[in-house]
Amino acid sequence: MDSCAICGETVCEGKETVRLTQKGCEGIQNSGTSQTYADVKPGDIVHTKCRKALTRRKNSATNIHLDGEIDKQKALRSNCETFDFKNRCLFCGCQAKYCPSSRKRSIDVYPDRSLEFQNTIKTICISRGDQWAKEINIRLLHVVDLPAADA
């Protein structure tokens, strides 16, 4: 009985298979995965699932293995914690102080009212390059217009 040239399992009646052509062999060899399949030749029979797992671009970018294990997870903006510019200090991240009677910010909290302030902070963060500057720069990357975010 033949075996799949990619995963090595026997080709049985239960799984869909495909016979490779020259173009299919080149696609598997140029798939960009960490594994190499130099022994794949035209006429070999492979599982359809194995071939698709190797040749699809979105799968090859994250190196999905045949057993379903993923090497690298894509970072999404929705997974990141959002910073509350209205109620927290941009620099230290602490809760902003409010006057208990009027629910307004206290005198030691300065709101951002210009885009120039935002651009100046970005340039200073880039020039400093330390961990604290990176944290502030990450906070600024999540907002386009800092005064509109009530910072």
pLDDT per residue as tens digits for the range 84-97: 877 788 888 888 77
pLDDT the model gives residue 127: 92
Has residue 99 got a pLDDT over 70? no
117's tokens: 């302030």
Tokens 């102080």 label which residue?
97
Upper half-sphere CA count for residue 14 (Cβ side, 13 Å): 2
Has residue 62 got a pLDDT over 70? no
Tens digits of residue pLDDT in 4-21: 877 777 877 778 888 888
| Mean per-residue pLDDT, 69-89 | 67
Has residue 69 got a pLDDT over 60? no
State the average pLDDT for the chain.
Answer: 74
* Residue 2 CA, distance from chain mean position: 39
Q: H or E segment at 19? A: strand 17-19
pLDDT the model gives residue 95: 81
Has residue 39 got a pLDDT over 80? no
Nearest to 25 by CA among 6, 49, 1: 6
DSSP 78: G
- Residue 116 pLDDT grade (very low, low, confident, very high; cuts 50, 70, 90): confident
| Mean per-residue pLDDT, 30-43 | 69
pLDDT the model gives residue 6: 77
Rounded to two decimals, what is the model's pTM? 0.42
- Residue 144 pLDDT grade (very low, low, confident, very high; cuts 50, 70, 90): confident
Tokens 């399992």 label which residue?
9
How far apart are the C-alpha atoms of 119 and 95, rounded to whole Å? 23
